[in-house]
Amino acid sequence: MGKGTSILAGIVATPLTAYAASFDYTPLAYGFVAGITVLFGILFMLWARSKLSGSAVGLLQAVAGGVLAYLALETGHAAAEYVEELAKPETLGQFLVASFVTTAALALTYMALAKAERAVHAARGSTSLTVALIVALAFGVHNVAEGFAIAAALLEGAVALAVLFTVGFAVHNFTEGFGIAGPLLADKRAAVPLTQAVGLSLLAGLPVIPGAAIYYAGIESGLFLATLNTVATASIVYAMLHVNLNALAKLGGVASAKFWLGITLGVVIAFSTESLIIFAAAH
């Protein structure tokens, strides 16, 4: 019987009140702190939209596109790294399975997103909100792994490292709010209710909590995580195209220096906040 199965069996056999009293909520609290900052990033971008001109909003969208581009590279690399490590004669079978599963996940995600967008168009719904929802869901899938990192540090007794991870993820997730708000900047006249901003941020940020809980319970799978990262990559790339096309329309096309400056700035922001996490891991 595996560790995760033993824990689940113990949960069933233990009265709920006794289990609640003995449960360690520390990883969940850390996960909440790391994830909730997505909301602040969204609110900052929406506040900035109300103060800026059309071209400045386009520049903000390009920054959001740069953040999305970096995160797509990050999640795609994480998925590819797992599969590439299996490319050895002794793990050929696992390599073939992982290659098939991740490729299928990539293709199915793109097809599902395209079908969902066509359905929204047919129903005359909000395309910008749909794209923002796609980004939020993609970040949510990606952020499950952040919970894994926090829980792993706690399991090793490295509380200081867990705190550094939490702070690093919190800063990094603030910039993820830029990516979610990017599609919502498309129409400066359209009001974005606070409930929508909160809902999108919860979808993106709170999966850090179940990620921490799952890992803390001893349940982990490399293929599962690689598949999650593949789905996240496809979703982020799909949304990034929408955001960048809208930014290009506001800034004058591919020849716009402002667009490429915004993309570069977005990549720099995402990379800089990610570096906090790398430094924390090296501590």
pLDDT digits (tens, 9 = 90+) for 76-109: 998 899 999 999 999 999 999 999 999 999 999 9
CA distance 7 to 23: 12
Q: What is the pLDDT of residues 205-261, one digit of tens each?
A: 888 888 877 776 666 678 888 888 898 888 889 888 888 888 898 898 999 999 999
Domain assignment present for 6? no
CA 12 to centroid of chain Cα atoms: 32
How many angstroms separate the CA atoms of 88 and 113, rounded? Answer: 34
Number of domains in the chain: 1
Using an 8 Å Cβ cutoff, are 239 and 135 in contact? Answer: yes
- Structural domain includes residue 166: yes
- Give the global pTM: 0.74
Give the pLDDT score at 106: 94
87 found inside a domain:
yes
Report yes or no: 68 and 179 within 8 Å, Cβ to Cβ: yes
- Two tokens at 184? 């919502």
pLDDT of residue 20: 44
CA nearest neighbour of 250 among 88, 79, 63, 101: 63
Alpha-carbon distances, residue 121 vs 112, 124, 125, 190 (angstroms)? 14, 5, 6, 17
Considering the domain boundaries, does residue 203 fall inside one?
yes
**Phi and psi at residue 2, in whole multiples of 5°?**
-75, 170
Confidence of residue 18 (pLDDT cuts 50, 70, 90): very low
- 25-80 residue pLDDT tens: 777 888 888 888 999 989 988 888 778 777 888 898 899 899 889 988 988 998 89
224 belongs to a structural domain: yes
Task: Tell me which residue range forms the domain holding 232.
Answer: 23-282
Q: Does the residue 52 lie in any domain?
A: yes
- How confident is residue 3, by pLDDT bands cut at 50, 70 and 90? very low
What lies within 8 Å, CB to CB, of 224 at 6+ separation is none
Residue 91 counted as domain residue: yes
Distance from C-alpha of 229 to C-alpha of 256, rounded to nearest angstrom = 32
Confidence at residue 87, expressed as pLDDT on a 0 to 100 scale: 93
- Residue 17: inside a domain: no
Give tens-digit pLDDT for 161-215.
788 788 878 888 888 888 888 888 876 666 788 888 889 888 888 888 888 777 7
